[in-house]
Amino acid sequence: MLTLIEKTVFVLLALAAVFLAMREFRRKALLIQRGRPFQRSDRPLVRFWYALRRVVLQLCAYENRPVVGFFHSMIFWGFLVYLLVTINHVVEGFFSGFNLLGQGGIRTVVLFGANIFAGMILLAAVFFLVRRYVFRPSTLDIPSMESAVILGFISTLMLSFVFYEALKLYGPETMVSGNFLAVWVKAHWLPAIMSKATQEVWLRVLWWLHILVVMAFGVLIPFSKHLHLVAGPVNLFFKNHGVRAEIPVVDLEEQEYFGTPKIVDLTRKDLLDLFSCAECGRCDDVCPALRTGKALSPKALLHKMQLHLLEIGETPRDDLKTLLGEVVSEEEIWACTTCGACMEVCPMFNEHIPKITGMRQYGVMMESRFPEELQTLFRGLENQGNPWGINAQERSKWMEGLDVPLIADKGETDVLLWVGCEGAYDSHAQKHTRMLVEVLKKAGVDFAILGDSEKCCGDPARRAGHEYLFQILAMENIENLNSYKFRRIVTMCPHGLHVLRHEYQRMGGEYAVMHYTQLLEELVNNGSLRLHAGTKSHRVTFHDPCYLGRYQGEYDAPRRLLRAAVKDGCLVEMTHNRDKSFCCGAGGGGMWKEEEGEGRMSHARIQDACARGADTLVTACPYCSVMFKDAIEETGSNDIQTRDLIHFIHKNMT
């Protein structure tokens, strides 16, 4: 069909498009290589299969937004079909009358699929046009011209294919099985008769239109946010399959700087995240900081860092902007509670929290820039081993009159109960600690505590960026723990659970660690602990603590215990539950600093519970329990109370 000149023009344009695209891909690859190396090449086949499965099945698109995901998947799967169609399109232009698909069943199936997807993709284009320009969600930015261009490209590709196939029906192929859209277009949109010369002109015009749009789209990908089509699958391959939001152990003696002062101090995986972001806004949808009027937007955070990365070129490290303050504001960094909601919903598994904690480490350890209220936290941890600076010798006062065994006296025990700072010092949480001790005694558990020698696990220091203080506390605790014999550690606090189970392991402290709800469920299952449903008809709802749910994946043990301890039908779920739970605001050092913004996260959570008609908000975390108690007092909510789960277990054990 094409003349020699047209074939030459096609080859030159194709080479130019490939050159422009590859040059930009190379530029961005070199920018990523400026980051620090990272090691995530273990189990390559498992990683490859995981990434392939999520991409091909479009699991990343369907999660959390099924309707949007459906239309996204239609475009993706349609483009896979149209990859074959476009290759055949090129062949037809170079070799008139030749068809890669042949003239039989394969061609019929492919054309039928192409017609189906052409219709679905056009419908998807209309859906996204309306969603972006008419009924735009708050988490989507004002659409740029780029979005309109992409939607225009997609629509043009589909229409050019359908009309091209319809024009071919004027020739010998008056009917091709499976080409139903082309038949419909010819019948309703094209004249009944068309001369061969006119047909050939329009075939050539549509052939070129289709090819030029394909080339333009290919060039646009590396220059736009649609780079995630290429970077995203690579990012999925390098997904962190280990500890969530892991903070690397810093070599305090050898490292020249702490945290991530400059963009090139991030890992290459961190920089790959910036190009993998699809700007879908899922992270903003669930961020408790953003939803309560704070400065932080997880999506904007990555976008700011991406724009900065694109500016640096080959600029020497020392001449680059400092991330904290010059690229990202301090208000944004300190608004994060490290709840993990953003990372939970990100379809590309971008890792926001390590970037934030890296900037916090730099601010705290190298610049002494942090919220003033945290000074009390750091001083208390350093001097007394607890966040409030209360005398360390008073850590065991909560157990007066209970005859709680000390491991120093026993020498060996099955369960070492890690009380934690809240459970030892806070008057509200102390009640729950005493209840747990009485439950363990009732169930005949062989347990003991460290007593006054227990220190803060270090979680608030580490999440607030004070790695030096964390390591001091961790090493003292590990040395203390390693001097005793026990089979497992049981914690009241999910934050302590995470640190002792995962982070101490990186420092030589390998222990079997579980949350108290997991132990109590075990005791119920083996008959050591018996529960009966309470007689009072509470309407209770359970709040999933971030560090028990999203960080440890434990959602069921607390619910099974609660169902056993309340009357049937009394447990209701909040809208945001399990992995979509809404943070109380205490994590990431939030417990010890003033919460800024229009609203408070704990107040929002109380409203969630009230909206479900609950009169009791139950949790299994001392941080959450204290935050909700304060929120109820601050808001004057007389129609709801908060209880730790241990309250129901203690009250209803037989």
* Mean pLDDT in residue range 51-61: 89
* CA dist., res. 638 & res. 558, Å (int): 25
* CA dist., res. 275 & res. 30, Å (int): 13
* CA dist., res. 442 & res. 101, Å (int): 75
pLDDT of residue 172: 62
427-442 helix and 622-635 helix, angle to the nearest 10 degrees? 130
pLDDT of residue 155: 92
pLDDT of residue 175: 54
The pLDDT tens digits of the residues spanning 260-269 come to 999 999 999 9
Least-confidence region, from 98-112, 211-225, 347-361, 539-553: 98-112
**Residue 403: CB atoms within 10 Å:** 8
* Mean pLDDT in residue range 51-70: 87
Q: Among candidates 255, 254, 248, 249, which has minimal Cα distance to 475? A: 249
* 391-524 and 540-651 have identical folds: yes
First-residue to last-residue Cα distance in the chain: 87
Domain ranges of the chain: 43-237, 263-366, 391-524, 540-651
Q: Among candidates 584, 445, 582, 583, which has minimal Cα distance to 519? A: 445
* Mean pLDDT in residue range 85-94: 84
pLDDT of residue 177: 67
The pLDDT tens digits of the residues spanning 164-181 come to 888 888 766 555 567 888
Q: Among candidates 285, 300, 275, which has minimal Cα distance to 356? A: 300
* CA dist., res. 146 & res. 128, Å (int): 13
Q: Which residues contact residue 13 at a Cβ distance below 8 angstroms, ignoring those fewer than 6 apart?
A: 212, 215
pLDDT of residue 537: 66
* CA dist., res. 510 & res. 485, Å (int): 13
* Alpha helices (runs of H) in 221-261, residue ranges in sequence order: 228-237
Q: What is the pLDDT confidence band of residue 26, given thresholds at 50, 70 and 90?
A: very high
In this predicted structure, the answer to whether residue 453 has a pLDDT above a threshold of 90 is: yes
pLDDT of residue 106: 80
**Residue 166: CB atoms within 10 Å:** 22
Least-confidence region, from 277-281, 299-303, 493-497: 277-281
pLDDT of residue 274: 96
Q: What element of type H or E holds 572? A: strand 571-572
Query: Which CATH class, in words, describes the domain spanning 540-651?
Result: alpha beta
* CA dist., res. 632 & res. 620, Å (int): 17
Least-confidence region, from 23-27, 100-104, 476-480: 100-104
pLDDT of residue 567: 78
The more confidently predicted of residues 87 and 419 is: 419
The more confidently predicted of residues 557 and 94 is: 557
Contact of 531 with 565, CB cutoff 8 Å: yes
In this predicted structure, the answer to whether residue 535 has a pLDDT above a threshold of 80 is: no
The more confidently predicted of residues 190 and 99 is: 190
In this predicted structure, the answer to whether residue 534 has a pLDDT above a threshold of 90 is: no
* Mean pLDDT in residue range 251-257: 85
Contact of 235 with 276, CB cutoff 8 Å: yes
Report the CATH number of the 391-524 domain: 3.40.50
Percent of the chain scored above 70 by pLDDT?
Answer: 97
In this predicted structure, the answer to whether residue 18 has a pLDDT above a threshold of 90 is: yes
Q: What is the pLDDT confidence band of residue 142, given thresholds at 50, 70 and 90?
A: low
Q: What is the pLDDT confidence band of residue 638, given thresholds at 50, 70 and 90?
A: confident
The pLDDT tens digits of the residues spanning 196-235 come to 888 888 988 999 999 999 999 999 999 998 999 999 999 9
* Mean pLDDT in residue range 620-646: 93
pLDDT of residue 190: 86
In this predicted structure, the answer to whether residue 299 has a pLDDT above a threshold of 70 is: yes
Q: What is the pLDDT confidence band of residue 191, given thresholds at 50, 70 and 90?
A: confident
| SS3 assignment, position 75 | helix
pLDDT of residue 319: 94
Tokens 């003696």 sit on residue: 253
In this predicted structure, the answer to whether residue 1 has a pLDDT above a threshold of 90 is: no
* CA dist., res. 356 & res. 487, Å (int): 36
The more confidently predicted of residues 527 and 196 is: 527
pLDDT of residue 216: 94
Contact of 36 with 262, CB cutoff 8 Å: no
* Mean pLDDT in residue range 277-295: 93
The pLDDT tens digits of the residues spanning 115-131 come to 899 999 999 999 988 88
Contacts 24+ apart (CB under 8 A), 202-206: 202/163, 202/167, 203/1, 203/164, 203/167, 203/168, 204/1, 204/2, 204/6, 206/160, 206/163, 206/164, 206/167
CATH among 1.10.3720.10, 1.10.10.10, 1.10.1060.10, 1.20.1740.10 for 263-366: 1.10.1060.10
Averaged confidence pLDDT in the chain: 91
The pLDDT tens digits of the residues spanning 557-568 come to 999 999 998 877
Q: Among candidates 345, 357, 335, 346, which has minimal Cα distance to 585? A: 335
The pLDDT tens digits of the residues spanning 581-631 come to 999 999 999 999 988 878 899 999 999 999 999 999 999 999 999 999 999
* Alpha helices (runs of H) in 95-140, residue ranges in sequence order: 105-133
Residue 338 Rama label (left phi>0; alpha psi -120 to 50; beta): left
Q: What are the distances in angstroms from CA 442 to CA 523, 530, 551?
A: 11, 10, 30
* CA dist., res. 426 & res. 422, Å (int): 5
The pLDDT tens digits of the residues spanning 473-508 come to 999 999 999 999 999 999 999 999 999 999 999 999
